[in-house]
Amino acid sequence: MGFEGFEGFEMTEEKVRKLKPIVEKILSRKHGRDIKLYNLTICGVPLGDESSNEDQQNRQPN
């Protein structure tokens, strides 16, 4: 068995960005807590914490 259906598949930052909330939701349900990932790397494609920084800025009182 192999990954014949994935020939030519390329993981991009956009795809990792779309997967991040899905992974967070799965982990949150599994552990019963709200889990936010600050750094995520899938298939060697890193995703920084810029979206997490936006969340933190939105939570801070003015």
Bridge partners (DSSP) of residue 47 are: 40
Share of the chain above pLDDT 70, in %: 74
- pLDDT tens string 41-53: 888 888 887 654 5
Number of domains present in the structure of the chain: 1
Q: How confident is the model at residue 35 (pLDDT cuts 50, 70, 90)?
A: very high
Whether 62 and 51 have beta carbons less than 8 Å apart is answered as: no
Residue 6 lies in a domain: no
Q: How confident is the model at residue 9 (pLDDT cuts 50, 70, 90)?
A: confident
Residue 4 lies in a domain: no
Q: What is the pLDDT of residue 8?
A: 84
Residue 42 lies in a domain: yes
Residue 61 lies in a domain: no
Residue 47: Cβ-neighbour burial (10 angstroms; 0-12, 13-18, 19+): buried
Beta strands in 1-62 (DSSP E): 40-42, 45-47
Bridge partners (DSSP) of residue 46 are: 41
Residue 5 lies in a domain: no
Which amino acid, 41? Answer: T
**Domain span holding position 48:** 11-54
